Structure 1
Amino acid sequence: MKINFIQDIASPHNNVFIQALEEDQSIDLSLWYCVHNPEMYGWKEDLTNAIKPANMYKQKSIDFKFLWHCLKNTKEKYLVVGWQNINTKLLMLLFFITRRSYAVWFDLPNDERERNFVKRFFRNFFYFILKHSNAHVFGVGQMTLDYFKSRGFKEKHLTNLPIFVDVSKNPEDYRKNKADIFKKYNVTDDGFLLSAGSRLIYEKGFDILIDAIAELPDDIKSKVKCVIVGKGEEEENLKAQIEKNGLSDIVVMEPWMEFGEFTALIANSHAFVHPCRFDAFGATIFGHALGVTVLGNIGAGAAYDRVVNGENGYLFKNNNPEELSKLIEKIMKEKSKLKTLGDNARKTALKWSPENGVALLKEKIK
C-alpha cells in the first residue's frame, strides 16, 4: 500500500506516528511538507527528514507538479493533515470534482477565533466540499469527532485517530535524571514538582495554573515548584502575573526545550498539568506515557478523552483555578497514591500505541 502523508510542517508527535508507518512492511510511505523546520519552535533536529527524505511542495503559490502527482497516481492512498495552505485546499477540491477517495486528519477546529466574512465563507465552503467528498475523516479525539458530527458528517465516515506518543521506552529510564532535575529547580526532599508546557497563548491556560498555585495555603505552597515550558505572546503577561503573586521562587518559566529534555522533566514530576481552556488534543498524552498523574482542564481534548478522575489523574472545570488549586493540594496530601495513579496513566497510554494507530489507518483506507 502506497501512502502519501501530506502536511505543512513536521512535528515531533506526528513523527512518532510516521515512524510506525515507515516500519510497517506493508506500507510504502512518501512524506510531503511545505515548510522546513520553522524557527518559531526552536527545534534543532531536522524533523522534516528525520525518518526518511521528504518531498517539498510550495506553501504560498500553486504547485502544479505536486497537484499533478496526486491526480495522476490514482492507485496511491492520500492522507492530508489539515488544509492550511492553498495546495491542500486545491487538492481537496480536485479530489471532490474527480470523486477520488482519500483521507484527512484533523484536530479540533476553533470556531471561536475571529474571522471576516470572506474567511468564514471559504471555511464553510470547504467543509461542504469535504462532507460531500469520498473522504474518510480521522479526528484527533472524541471532541473532534463530535464537532464533525455537529456539522452533519456521517458517523461511518469518522474515526478517532489521536496524536500518538512513543510508548516503547520505559519511564524509569528518564527517572535516572531525577537528582539533576530536582537540584536545578531546588526541589526539596519533601517538595512537589509540577510541570506544564506548550505555546504561551491565552487558550493554553497557564494563567489558570499560576492563579491556582497562588491560592494554595502557604504551608503547601512553600513546597511546590512548577516549571512551565514554552514561548509565545503571553510570556510577559505570565511573568508579570508570577511577580504580582509573589511566586518568583515557585514558578519557573523555561523556553522551548529539546524534546528529550522536556520528556525527562515530565517523567520526574509528581504531576503534569494540562490547563488549556481550548486544546485540540494536547500534552496529557505525554504525562500518561511517562506514568505521571495528570491534572487536566476539561477543555483540553486529550484530558477530556483520557483522564479518569481518581484513576489516572483528575479533571477540573474550565477557567476554574480554585478547583485546580484544591486538586493540587489533594494530590500533595495523598502523595502515596501517586504511584498507583501513574501506573494507571501508563496503562492508558499503552492502549493507544502508534502501531495500533497504523492498523486502524490501514483498515479505514484500504
Structure 2
Amino acid sequence: MIRDDVSAIPAYVPGRAAPDALKLSSNEAAHPPLPSAVEAMTDAARNANRYPDMGVVRLKAELADTLGLTPDQIAVGCGSSALCQQLVQATCRANDEVIFAWRSFEAYPIFCLVVGAKPVMVPLDGNHRHDLDAMAASITDRTRLIFVCNPNNPTGTNITEDEFTAFMERVPEDVVVVLDEAYIEYVRDEDNPVSTELLGRYPNLVGMRTFSKAYGLAGVRVGYAFGDPRIIDAVNRMALPFSVNAVGQAGALASLTAADELLQRTDEAVEQREALVARIPGAVASQTNFVWIPTSRSRELAGKLAERGVLIRAFDEGVRVTVTTGEELNRFLTAWDEVQ
C-alpha cells in the first residue's frame, strides 16, 4: 500500500526543546511579535470558524507593494519550506535532479525525495561557503532546480553579487534557481546579492523569504516566493488549499506595517553574533542570526551544554548556535567555557 522508497526519506529533525532550557537550536527570534501583530492575530482567531482567504489576496498586495512587484509574481505558503517543496513538485518528475550545497538547509533532500527527484549535494568549499563553480559543473540535462541558500544555513556564510551573477550566467535558462533568503534581514554585507534586484535580468530566478525569523512569526508559518508569473502560477497550483491560515495572514500583514520597528531588532542579533565570533576561536563569521562553530566534538558538546540547560544544534561537521540577546549570549558563553 505504501511506496517502497518512503522509508528512505529522512525525517526532518526540529531543534531540540526542553522546559526551562535556553533554546538556541532553532534560529528563532528571542522577542515575541509586536503588540499590533498579536492584536491582529487575536482578532483573526476569533473568526477561526471561517476559512482563511485561500488566495492570500491582501498579503500578496502588500508584499507586491513592498517588493516593487505585482501580485501575480508572488506566492505565499505555509512557511518558506512549503514553497520549497511546491517548487520541487512544480519542476521535477521522478529521477530529475535538484542541486544544492551541502551542508545546507537539511530539508532540501527531503523535498526532492518526496517526489522521487534526485538530490545532487555539492560540498561547501573550505571556507564553509557555496562552491558555485562546482555547482555549475554539476548541472546535467536532468537538472531542473537549484537551491542557493544565502546566507547559508547552518554555516551563516554568504556569497557576493558578482559570484552569484557569474553563476547565473552558467545556468541554462530552463533550470529554475531559487535564492533562498530566509535570513536576508540579518545581512549587513553590501556585496550580498538581493533577489528583487536581479529578477528582471534572470527570468528563471525565484526569490524566497519568510516571516519566521526576523519578523518573529515562526509559530504561525508564513513564507513567500516571488519571480516570473509563469513559475509562480505553477508553484501556486502545487499548494494545498487554505494552507496559509488566517492567523498567520493577519500577523504577517500587521508585521509588514511595522517592518522598520521589527527590523531594528535585528541589529541586536548582529551585535551579538559578532561578539560570539570574536569570543570563540574557529567560529565562522556570519550574516545570519546564528553562528557556525566547526568541531569534531559536536554531539559531545551539545550533550554537555544540554546538561547545563543550554540547547544548540549539532551536526556531524559542527554546531550551530542561535544568537539573540546579550543576556542569552552570556549564558551560552558561560556554559561553553564549562564544557571545553
Using CA pairs under 8 Å that are at least 6 residues apart, name the structure with larger relative contact order, 1 or 2: 2
Higher helix share: 1
Q: Which of 1 and 2 has greater Rg?
A: 1
* TM > 0.5 fold call: no
The TM-score, its normalising length taken from structure 2, stands at 0.30
